[in-house]
């Protein structure tokens, strides 16, 4: 009987030791938790405070800048002093931002003759626009574990002579 009890104790000790090794190896193979990043976006050059600004943050190049396919979409009323928005809890990576000034508040990016924009628009990195939206890589911003701050200047291709654009982002 004592011999059997000794075997059981040794087996229990070996099993608990194997459990400890398994637990340690699982912990060692688990990647360290990554901290979430933040992207602070300051919008400048709004010509008035009519309507709202729609900001669309993309994390996938193949979806940029397809309407409704963004990682995060935010509609923001325009305050008198300019516009600043914080995207938080972002996994570190590459992002591209597209925005438009929806002056009439109809949730549509209005275009005129030949598809030219009637409302203001902008992209991260102030990426250049020729005959179409810029590429994801041209607008890409790297977000790490710290705060990343960018400024986007709104561009208008249609003129509204009754309203002037302010450089501080306000109306």
Please write the tens of the pLDDT for every residue from 57-106: 999 999 999 999 999 999 999 987 779 999 999 999 999 999 999 999 99
What pLDDT is recorded for position 4? 54
CA geometry: angle at 154 spanning 149 and 144, to 5°?
20
Alpha carbons within 13 angstroms on the beta-carbon side of residue 97 total: 30
Please write the tens of the pLDDT for every residue from 121-140: 999 999 999 888 999 999 99
Q: Are 126 and 141 in contact (CB under 8 A)?
A: no
What pLDDT is recorded for position 69? 97
What is the C-alpha to C-alpha distance for residues 148 and 14, in angstroms, rounded to an integer? 51
* Burial environment of residue 43 by CB neighbours within 10 A (0 to 12, 13 to 18, 19 or more): buried
């Amino acid at each position: 009987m004592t011999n059997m009890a000794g075997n059981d104790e040794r087996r229990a000790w070996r099993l608990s030791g194997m459990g400890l090794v398994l637990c340690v190896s699982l912990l060692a193979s688990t990647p360290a938790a990554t901290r979430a990043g933040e992207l602070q976006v300051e919008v400048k050059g709004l010509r008035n405070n009519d309507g709202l600004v729609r900001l669309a943050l993309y994390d996938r190049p193949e979806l940029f800048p397809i309407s409704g396919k963004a990682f995060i979409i935010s509609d923001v009323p325009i305050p008198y002093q300019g516009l600043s928005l914080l995207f938080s809890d972002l996994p570190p990576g590459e992002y591209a931002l597209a925005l438009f000034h929806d002056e009439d508040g109809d949730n549509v990016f209005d275009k005129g003759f030949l598809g030219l924009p009637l409302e203001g628009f902008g992209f991260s990195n102030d990426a250049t626009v020729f005959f179409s939206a810029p590429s994801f890589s041209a607008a890409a911003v790297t977000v790490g574990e710290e705060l990343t701050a960018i400024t986007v200047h709104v561009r208008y291709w249609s003129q509204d002579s009754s309203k002037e654009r302010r450089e501080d982002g306000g109306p």
